[in-house]
Structure formats: C-alpha cells, structure tokens
C-alpha cells in the first residue's frame, strides 16, 4: 500500500525519538518532518500547512508537568484553529492529556508508543484534518453563495400583484415559510416559481443562510447523481477531486430544485432515501453525510402529469409536496398587468439610467388584452427591450412587437418570413422532443434559455 499523501510534523527534543518516528512514519505518509527545538514551532507552522502534528508534552530535562506542551499547543491553535495535534505524554499522565484535549488537542499516545497504535492514531487524526478542511471549505463556499443569493436586484425578484389569485398565493407563502415544510410550486413557464421560492426563503428562519438554486433541466442525466449527491475522487473517470454535491452545499439553508420533473426515475429512489434519512452518500463513498436543508421544488408539469407513476414516483411526490402552491398564469390575473408594466418600466429606466417611460392608451389596451403566453417573464423582457430601444418618452404599440397568441398565418412571401417560419418550426420540434423542457430544448438549438424564451414570445409559443 503506497504512503498516504499527508504532511506530518513530529516535535520532540530527543533525537532518538525523532529518528524512530521518521523511520516508522515515512512508510505510511509521503512527508514526515521532525523538529527538535520547540521554539521554532510557531515560525514553522506559519510557513507550512501540516496535516497532523505529533507534539511531545515535556521538553526541558526532568520536566514532567506538561506545561510547555500545553503552551505550545495554545500557540499552534492560535495560528491554525483547524490544526490537528496529537500529544505524546508519559505513561500515567492521562489526566494531563484529557486537559490538553479540552484545549484543542485531537488525541494522545503514551511513551513508549506501540508502532501500530501510533500509526492508527495518526490515520484517524488525518481523517479529522480532512473533515475540518472540507467543513471550512464548505463554510467558505456557503458564505459566497449566501452573499450572491442576497445580492440579486429586488426589482427583478419581487412578487407583484393584487389580483385575488395572487393574494391567495402570497398568503400561502407566508403561512408555509416559517414551518420548514417541503414545498412544491407548480405553474407555467414564466409565472415566477423561483420568485416564490425566494420569497419562502426570505420569510423563513433560514433567511440568513444560503439559497441555492439548481436547474435540473440543465443537467445531463450522466451528471445528476454527481451534482446532487457529490462524489469522491476516483469514483469515475473524470472525478479528479472530491466534489461537494448541492444537497450538502445547501446545508443550513434552502435548496431550490427547479424543474423537479426532470429527475430520472432511476435516481428518484435515491433522492427519496436522502430526504427521508436526511443524509447523503456521495458517489464513490461508503459512509453517509448528514444534511439539513429546506427543500423547495418547482415544475411546469401539471398535477395530472406528476400523478403518472411512469414519470414520477408517488412516494417521492408525497415527500416533496407537503405544501403545494400553484402560481396562476398572467392571463388569469389581467388586473395585475398595468401594475407590472409600470413597475418594470420604472425599474429598467433606473437600471439603465434612461428617462422615465409612459405607455400610450393604445399600447396599454393592447398589452392588457394580449394573452401573454410567456407570462410575467415575457412581460418583463418586453418592457426591458422597449425601455432600451425606444427613443420616445411615450411607448407605442410599435415598441412592443408582440405576435398574436394564436399560431400565425402562413408566412407572406419574402426571405425574412420564410426564415421566421423555419425557426418557429424548429423551436416547436425541439420543445416537443424534450417534453417542453426549455433548458434542454435551448441546449439542443444552441441557444441560451433567455434567447429561447424571447423567440417563444416572438412566435406566440
């Protein structure tokens, strides 16, 4: 068995002990460094990232109180709070070793040591160091995610509306938010499912923790397991390092699984087990790791489609929809359209430092009566484009090139119309092929999701 990739430092004033430690430990670890003068320890720790330190408790001739060992331990922990220190103490000084462990030591061995016991103790200490490092990396990553998730412009993430259907949704969100219950959000594309999920997070007890969104529709089936559950180095060909999965990365906060209907049936069972046991087993690992997440899922599939056992496990459905909230399409809350238009017109004018825009009476009537197949997302994009491109203070119908909700008539003569017809047909085929999964259809067409949504809006899809 090759030596483990680890850096070990042995600190003792007895050269014979240092030599014995070198000969023993170099067979088990790639780097073994020794130090006879403990006064050099702080400088050495500052310059190097040791995985485990083996530290003697007494250095001065005749000393047996362990006071210097405790002082050196305190120095190490002050320099590196994640340091893993194993103490070497005289036989019978167990009480002293216990006191040292209360002050940060990981373990202890007694002199004269047994070789197998010493190696086993250092192996366990090395595992502790790796766990501490992983936890520190996870905290750092979560801090970045928390900052990023809190740094989204509120103008684009607010839930806006006073229609009765929207008031019912907001009421349901407020009641569900503090409970930590799993929530399933249903609704057509563009109705604001992510906005609802973020609102749940902001009103929950996890508001100061990470909100992590995962677009399951954008993950290839081959990556599902690795991305959600994580993997260990060497678990498969491209696994060149350990990876923390989304379920672990969101621990302490909220995990939003968008397009949950795209989880392959083969993985739905593992996801169910993970949620039931509140622990995850990374690919290539043997031991489970605990998770603590508030789960929010969303899909544009209908309740009837989710009830199809050939598409979605019913026991998993029961697990994720403790609370089920359906967002209404914009055509079912037309009274909110003027409010939304005004909000986004002001927001994008301020965002791009442009003059305020108003809507002409003709345009307002047209937008109020349009079917909005892309829902609020389409309205927001249309207003943003008009605010940017229009040279007039008052927006007119020409600033909103919206198609009819019904399929367009046969294209007129001309190359532009023919290309539009071909593009529309290609989009329809891609959406049908991928069961209306916008992410996968966009990837198949070589487009971003935003670009595809704009083309769908253009062609009334």
pLDDT for 11-57, tens place per residue?
Answer: 998 899 999 999 999 999 999 999 999 889 999 988 888 899 999 88
The top-scoring range by mean pLDDT among 127-131, 193-197, 248-252, 448-452 is: 193-197
Q: How confident is the model at residue 138 (pLDDT cuts 50, 70, 90)?
A: low
Tell me which architecture the domain covering 331-458 has in CATH: Orthogonal Bundle (1.10)
What are the tens digits of pLDDT across the range 55-103?
A: 988 876 666 777 888 889 999 988 888 889 998 887 656 777 778 888 8
Would the pLDDT of 284 be above 60? yes
Lowest mean pLDDT among 68-72, 188-192, 276-280: 68-72
Would the pLDDT of 411 be above 60? no
98-106: long-range contacts at Cβ-Cβ below 8 A with a sequence spacing of 24 or more?
99/70, 100/57, 100/66, 100/69, 100/70, 100/73, 103/70, 103/73, 103/74, 103/77, 104/73, 104/74, 104/76, 104/77, 105/73, 106/52
Looking at residue 204, its pLDDT comes to: 94
Looking at residue 142, its pLDDT comes to: 56
Q: How confident is the model at residue 367 (pLDDT cuts 50, 70, 90)?
A: very high
**What values do phi and psi take at 29, rounded to 5?**
-135, 145
CA distances from 79 to 49, 50, 51, 150, 251 (A): 11, 12, 14, 32, 28
Cα(278)–Cα(138) distance, rounded to whole angstroms?
Answer: 18
At CA 289, angle to CA 284 and CA 292, rounded to 5? 135
Question: Which two three-digit tokens encode residue 254?
Answer: 């909220």
Cα(360)–Cα(395) distance, rounded to whole angstroms?
Answer: 6
Looking at residue 414, its pLDDT comes to: 56
**What values do phi and psi take at 333, rounded to 5?**
-145, 55
Q: Which residue has the higher pLDDT, 456 or 71?
A: 71
Would the pLDDT of 421 be above 80? no
For domain 152-328, the CATH class is alpha beta
At CA 173, angle to CA 167 and CA 179, rounded to 5? 150
Q: Do domains 152-328 and 331-458 have the same CATH topology?
A: no
Looking at residue 406, its pLDDT comes to: 38
Quote the CATH superfamily of domain 4-132.
Answer: Response regulator (3.40.50.2300)
Q: How confident is the model at residue 410 (pLDDT cuts 50, 70, 90)?
A: very low
Looking at residue 109, its pLDDT comes to: 87
> What residues does each domain of the chain span?
4-132, 152-328, 331-458
User: pTM to 2 decimals?
Assistant: 0.60
Looking at residue 230, its pLDDT comes to: 86
Would the pLDDT of 177 be above 60? yes
Would the pLDDT of 157 be above 70? no
Cα(368)–Cα(321) distance, rounded to whole angstroms?
Answer: 34
Over residues 302-326, the mean pLDDT reads 92
Contact present, 166 and 328 (Cβ < 8 Å): yes
What are the tens digits of pLDDT across the range 324-334?
A: 999 999 999 99
Burial annotation 85-100 (CB, 10 A radius, 16+ → b, else e): bbbbbbeebeebbeeb
Name 105's Cβ contacts closer than 8 Å, sequence gap at least 6: 73, 85, 86, 87, 97
Looking at residue 81, its pLDDT comes to: 83
CA distances from 236 to 232, 279, 340 (A): 9, 22, 49
């Amino acid at each position: 068995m090759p030596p483990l990739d680890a850096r070990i430092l042995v600190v003792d004033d007895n050269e014979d002990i240092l030599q014995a430690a070198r000969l023993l430990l170099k067979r088990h670890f790639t780097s073994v460094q020794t130090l006879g003068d403990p006064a050099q320890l702080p400088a050495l720790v500052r310059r190097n990232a040791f995985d485990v330190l083996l530290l003697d408790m007494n250095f001065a001739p005749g000393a047996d109180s362990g006071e210097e060992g405790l002082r050196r331990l305190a120095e190490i922990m002050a320099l590196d709070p994640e340091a893993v220190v194993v103490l070497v103490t005289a036989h019978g000084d167990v009480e002293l070793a216990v006191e040292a462990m209360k002050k940060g030591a990981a373990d202890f061995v007694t002199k004269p040591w047994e070789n197998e016991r010493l190696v086993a103790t250092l192996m366990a200490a090395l595992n502790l160091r790796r766990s501490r490092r992983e936890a520190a990396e996870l905290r750092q990553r979560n801090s970045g995610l928390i900052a990023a998730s809190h740094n989204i412009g509120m103008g684009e993430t607010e839930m806006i509306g006073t229609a009765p259907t929207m008031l019912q949704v907001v009421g349901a969100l407020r009641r569900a938010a503090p409970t930590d219950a799993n929530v399933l959000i249903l609704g057509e594309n563009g109705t604001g499912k992510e906005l609802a999920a973020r609102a749940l997070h902001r009103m929950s007890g996890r508001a100061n923790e990470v909100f992590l969104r995962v677009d399951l529709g954008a993950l290839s089936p081959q990556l599902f397991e690795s991305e959600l559950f994580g993997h260990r180095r060497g678990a498969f060909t491209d696994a060149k390092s350990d990876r923390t999965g989304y379920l672990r990365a969101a621990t302490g906060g909220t995990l939003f699984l968008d397009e949950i209907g795209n989880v392959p049936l083969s993985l739905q069972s593992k996801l169910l087990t993970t949620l039931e046991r509140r622990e995850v087993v990374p690919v290539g690992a043997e031991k489970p790791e605990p998770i603590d997440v508030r789960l929010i899922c969303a899909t544009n599939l209908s309740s009837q489609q989710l009830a199809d056992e050939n598409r979605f496990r019913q026991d998993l459905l029961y697990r994720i929809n403790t609370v089920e909230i359906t967002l209404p399409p914009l055509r079912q809350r037309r009274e909110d359209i003027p409010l939304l238009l005004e909000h986004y017109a002001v927001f994008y004018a301020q965002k791009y430092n442009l003059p305020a825009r108003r809507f002409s009476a003709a345009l307002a009537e047209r937008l109020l009566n349009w079917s909005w197949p892309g829902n609020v997302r389409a309205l927001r994009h249309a207003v943003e484009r008009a605010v940017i491109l229009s040279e007039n203070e008052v927006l007119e119908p020409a600033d909103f090139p919206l198609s009819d909700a019904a399929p367009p008539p046969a294209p007129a003569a001309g190359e532009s119309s023919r290309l539009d017809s071909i593009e529309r047909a290609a989009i329809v085929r891609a959406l049908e092929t991928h069961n209306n999964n916008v992410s996968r259809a966009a990837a198949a067409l070589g487009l971003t999701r935003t670009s595809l949504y704009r083309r769908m809006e253009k062609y009334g899809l």
